[in-house]
Structure 1
Amino acid sequence: MTIFVAQHARRANPEATAAAVLDDLDSRVSDDASFVVLPENAFTTGDQVRALPQQLRERCLERLTALARTRGAYVLTGSWPEQRPDGELTQVARLLDPSGSVCAQMERPILPDGTTGTGDDFPVVQTPYGRVGVLLGPDFWLVEPPRIQCLAGAELLLVAGSLDGTQQAAQRAAVWGIATINTVAVAFAGSLSERCGGGSAVAMPEGFAAEAGTREGIIEAPWDAANIQHLREPDLRFQQTLWFGLWARRTELYSDLTAQVS
C-alpha cells in the first residue's frame, strides 16, 4: 500500500497548471496506490483567488475520477474555488473512492484576504486500508481538528494544505509534531508559488517517510495502518513504544475541562 502526494509549481494560467499536475499524476501514480493527495488551491494561478471556470473544474474532476478508478485508489482532489449561488467564493475539496464516487466533501469560506477559513466538520472515512481523516486548509494547524479525527479512529490524515513560504522550517516541524502527538500518519500536500512554500510530506510518529521540500513532482511512501495500531496499543510500562503516552486520553474528563474555562 502506497501514498502519493503531489506538489507542483503554478503555471501561467489554471489550464496550464491543471495539465501539468494531471499529466504528472497519470504518469507517476502506480497501481500500488492506496491514496493520492493534492494541495489546497490545486490548480490556482497566482495569489489572487478566483473561481475556476466550470469547464475546467469538470475536466479536472473527470480526470481525477478516472485516476481513482484505474488505480483503485482514494483520491483527495485538493481544493479549488467555486462560486456559490449567492456569489460568494468557497474552497471545495472532495475525497473520491476507488469507484470514483465522492465519499467525503469539505467546504471552507474564502476570506477577504484570499486565505481559506476554518470550519467545524471533520470527516473520517472507513477504507479497506484503515480509517482516514480529511482536512482542508488551516484546520490542520489547529489542535482540535486532528485530535477530533484521531479520537474518531483516524489512523491517517489526508491534508489539502499549504505552507507559508517564509515559515517552512517551523511548519515542517509542526507536521511531524501533529503526527507524533496524535500517533497518526499524515499525508500533507502543498503547492509551490511566491506565497506557498511547498513542504509536501508523509510523516509518521517516528519521522518523515518522504519529503518534497521545494522540489516539484510527486513523492510516495509506504503505508501500513498496522504500525499506527501497534503504536496506539496500551503499554503503560513503555516496553514496546513511547507513543501510547501521547495517544492515550481520558475523554470523559473533557466536559469537566471545558466547563472550568467557560
Structure 2
Amino acid sequence: MSQIFVAQYRRRADARSTLEAVVGRLGERVGPHAGFVVLPENAFAAPDAGPLPAALRDEALTRLAELARRRGAYVLTGSWAEENAAGTGLDQVARLLDPAGEIRAVVRRSVDDRGATATGDDFPVVDTEHGRVGVLLGQDFWLVEPPRIQCLAGAELLLVAGSTSAATTDSQHAAVWGIATLNTVGVALAAGLDAPSAGGSGIAVPDGFLAWAGTRESVPGAAWDPDHIRHLRQPDLRFQETLWFGLWARRPELYGSLTGGQRSAGATIGTEG
C-alpha cells in the first residue's frame, strides 16, 4: 500500500526561498513508500508576481524530479504562471512527474488581464502503479463536470493543485468530501496559506477524510488503497454492503434530458394566470 502527501505552506520572501523551504520539508516528510506528492496552486510565487523566471522554473522541475526519483513517487508540481506559447499572455501550468522524473501530464489554463485563471475542457487521466489518477487545477475541481469526466474515464484518485477562500473554507472542506462521495473517488487537494488561499488541504475518500491540514503549515499524509475505491464501485443493487454504488452508477439514457434542457415532471416553475 502506498501513501499520499499534500503540501500546505506559506510562501517565503521570494520564490527561490520558497522552493528551498518546500523541497527541504518534503525531503524530510515524504517517506520511501510514497505514491503521490501534491503541491498547491501558485506553488512558489504570488499570483500577481508575473511569470516564474525560466531558470527558476527549470530548477523547480529539476528539484521535484529528483524528489520523484528518490522516493519513487508521482509528484504534482503545483502550478505557476508561465508565458504562453504565443508570448501574448500568461498560462497557469501544472505538471505530473512520474517516478523516473519524466513529465506524464500537463494542465495549462490561460490567465486573463485581471489575473483570474480560466477553466478548461481537457482533463488528463494517467495510469500509474497505484491506480488511475486525474490531474486538476482548482478552477476545474470546484465544478461538477471535470471530476465526473475524469472518473468516467476511470480515475480512482484526483490530484488537485488548488486554493481555497477564507470566506468559504468550511464549505469547501465539506465540498471536498462531497466530491469524493458523489464520484466514489479519492481526492488529494493541496492548497496554500497565502491570500487569497486559506489552507484546508486534505485527503478524502467516500468514507471521510483520511488527513486534513486545517490552517497550519504541514505535509499531511495518508495510506492510499485503490482497491477500496474499486470495491465501493462494484454493483451492489440491493445496497447490502455499500451505499456508494448508487451514487457512482449512471443512467446514460437520461443524459439527453440534461443536455437538451428539458424539464422533468414536477419541475415546472411558476403558474400561468
Q: What TM-score do the two structures reach when normalised by structure 1?
A: 0.96
Structure 1 residue 87: Cα displacement = 2.9
How far is the alpha carbon of 1:164 from its aligned partner?
0.8
Alignment deviations for residues 149-195 of structure 1 (CA, whole Å, 9 cap, x no partner):
00111100000000012210011011110000001000000001132
The residue aligned with 2:42 is: 41
C-alpha deviations, 1:5-42, integer Å up to 9, x for none? 00110111111111111111111111110000001110
Residues 101-145 of structure 1, C-alpha deviations (whole Å, 9 max, x = no match):
111001001122222210000001111111101101210000000
Amino acid of the residue matched to residue 56 of structure 1? L
1:146 is paired with a residue whose SS is helix
Aligned residue number for residue 82 of structure 1: 82
Q: Tell me, what secondary structure is at the counterpart of 1:50?
A: coil
Write the mapping of 1:160-179 to structure 2, written as runs, cut at 5 A: 160-179=161-180
Amino acid at match of 1:113: R
- The separation in 1 between residues aligned to 2:261 and 2:16, in whole angstroms, is 52
What CA distance in whole angstroms lies between the structure 2 residues aligned with 1:220 and 1:32? 11
SS in 2 for 1:31: coil
- Separation in 1 of the partners of 2:17 and 2:9? 11
- RMSD value over aligned CA atoms? 1.4
Letter of the 1:90 counterpart: D
CA distance in 2, matches of 1:191, 1:112: 22
- The residue that corresponds to 1:5 in the other structure is 6
Aligned to 2:62: 62
Matches within 5 A, 1:134-145: 134-145=135-146
State the distance in 2 between where 1:52 and 1:86 align: 14
- In the aligned structure 2, how far is the partner of 1:193 from the partner of 1:62? 24
Question: 1: CA distance between counterparts of 2:217 and 2:257?
Answer: 47
Q: Which amino acid in structure 2 is aligned with residue 143 of structure 1?
A: V
SS at match of 1:196: coil
Percent of counterpart pairs with the same letter?
A: 60
Q: Which residue of 2 aligns with 1:114?
A: 115
Report the Cα distance in structure 2 between the residues aligned to 1:114 and 1:257, rounded to whole angstroms: 33
State how 1:161-200 maps to structure 2 within 5 Å: 161-200=162-201
Structure 1 Cα separation of the partners of residues 91 and 163 of structure 2:
16
Q: Would you say the 8 A contact 1:94–1:104 is kept in 2?
A: yes
SS at match of 1:214: coil
3-state SS of 1:126 partner: strand
Q: Which runs of 5+ in 2 are unaligned?
A: 264-273
1:52 is the counterpart of 2:48:
no
State the number of aligned residues: 261
1:217 aligns with 2:218: yes
Residues of 1 paired with 2:81 and 2:222: CA distance? 29
Distance 1:70 1:111 in 2: 37
Aligned to 1:227: 228
In structure 2, the partner of 1:250 is 251
2:164 match: secondary structure: coil
Question: Quick check: 246-255 or 100-109, which moved more?
Answer: 246-255
Letter in 1 for 2:180: A
Partner of 2:271: none
Mapped contact 1:117–1:137 kept (Cα < 8 A): no
Q: By how many angstroms is 1:210 displaced?
A: 0.1
Q: 1:261 to 1:113 in 2, by over 3 A?
A: farther
- Secondary structure of 1:218's counterpart equals coil
